[in-house]
Structures are given as structure tokens and as C-alpha cells.
Amino acid sequence: MDSELEEQLRVAFRDKLRLLPAELHAARGRTVPARDPATLLPSTRVLLKRREVAEVERQLQNQRQEFQQRMQRLAQRRQQLARREEQRRDAVLRFDSFLK
């Protein structure tokens, strides 16, 4: 009986772990071949989800950095605008005092 169970488990695992040559060819450049999610082991699905979450986190971090850089450039432009505004006011005041 143990040998039957052992053989059944061996066949089940071999079927689960078997990668067809077509899948391997299609998976070139990817770490995990494309398979129907229903046929994947739960642990494999969890690992794939973790990988997906990590990728989304990297993209989100990149977006945050880009946003931060845009905000810094905007702050610099506002400072430049404030300086120009101040220079313009000073020029107007000097001109007014010149006219008097």
C-alpha cells in the first residue's frame, strides 16, 4: 500500500513539475513559464503574486521619485518667479522715485 501511495505521489509531482518543451521555448527570457493559474500550486501562485507585488512597488517608487523631482523643479520655478516679481517691484519703485 505504501508503494502504491508513493507511486501516486511520484506521478502527481512529476506531472506538476513537468515543463513541456513548448512551454520552455515560450518562457525564454522569463523566469516562470506561462501556465493556467488553476494548474499552479498554491505556493507557486503566492510566489508569483509576491513577484508581481514587488514589481508594482518598484514602479510606484519610480513614480514617487519622478513626482518628487517635479515638485522640486516647481519649487525652484516658484522661487525664481518670486525673485523676478521682487525685482520688478524694485524697478517700479525706483522708476516712481525717479519721476518724483
pLDDT score, position 5: 72
Q: Are residues 32 and 48 in contact, defined by beta-carbon separation less than 8 angstroms?
A: yes
- Write down the domain spans for the chain: 1-27+47-99
Q: How many beta carbons lie within 10 A of that of residue 27, not counting itself?
A: 14
Question: Which residues in 36-75 are b (16+ Cβ under 10 Å) and which e?
Answer: eeeeeeeeeeeeeeeeeeeeeeeeeeeeeeeeeeeeeeee
Is the pTM for the entire model greater than 0.85? no
As averages over each run of 10 residues, the pLDDT of the chain (100 residues) reads 72 63 59 65 89 93 95 97 96 91
pLDDT score, position 24: 57
